[in-house]
Amino acid sequence: MIRAGRASLVVTSVETDPDLVTQHLGLSPTTVIRKGEGSRSGRVREHHTWAVDAGPFSNEDDDQTGTAALTTLLERCRAAFGRVGTLPADCHARIVWSADSDSAQGGFVLTAAVAGQIAALGVDLYGTVCLRDGGERDQ
């Protein structure tokens, strides 16, 4: 079962300044990394990154969908529904979602409502489920 997760709306661009992304989407980012800044490895970043983050969130026992972080992100981004298409052409927007399973399987449910909100936002979802080590067995 999915026990925790993180989700982010991420916009990358080569030329468009992150401040312009904020204006277009009507959202305040939680993370901004500018082109030309150094990374921890010492490399110079070749693009801007703008993001709204949600998580990490633990899923409640009564939430069997495994998507608490994703649904929280979509609620935070409601003001941007329908606006992603107004971003300049060099912008690439997507949701990045990851979840942690407490077993060697990681089932989750994207409800029709959640899928509809992703569509309303106008982005693709890139998802990863991190499974517990396969060497362990549930008793």
- Pairing between strand 92-101 and 124-130? parallel
Nearest CA to 65 out of 22, 32, 112, 104 is that of: 112
pLDDT, tens digit (0-9, with 9 covering 90-100), for 63-112: 666 788 899 999 999 999 999 999 999 999 999 998 877 777 666 778 89
Say if CB 12 and CB 89 are below 8 A apart: no
Q: Is residue 136 part of a domain?
A: no
Question: DSSP labels for the chain?
Answer: -EEEEEEEEEEEESSS-HHHHHHHHT---SEEE-TT-B-TTSPBPSSEEEEEEEEEEEPPTT--SS-HHHHHHHHHTGGGTTTGGGS-TT-EEEEEEEEEESSS-------HHHHHHHHHHT-EEEEEEEPPPTT----
Q: Is residue 89 part of a domain?
A: yes
Say if CB 87 and CB 16 are below 8 A apart: yes
Q: Is residue 62 part of a domain?
A: yes
Q: Is residue 125 part of a domain?
A: yes
> Which domain covers residue 99, as residue numbers?
2-130
Q: Is residue 86 part of a domain?
A: yes
Q: Is residue 90 part of a domain?
A: yes
Amino acid at 123: V
pTM: 0.85
Instruction: Report the number of distinct structural domains present in the chain.
Output: 1
Say if CB 103 and CB 71 are below 8 A apart: no
Report how far apart the first and last C-alpha atoms of the chain are (Å, whole number). Answer: 15
**Both structure tokens of 58:** 């633990």
pLDDT, tens digit (0-9, with 9 covering 90-100), for 9-61: 999 999 999 999 999 999 999 999 999 999 889 999 999 999 999 987 776 66
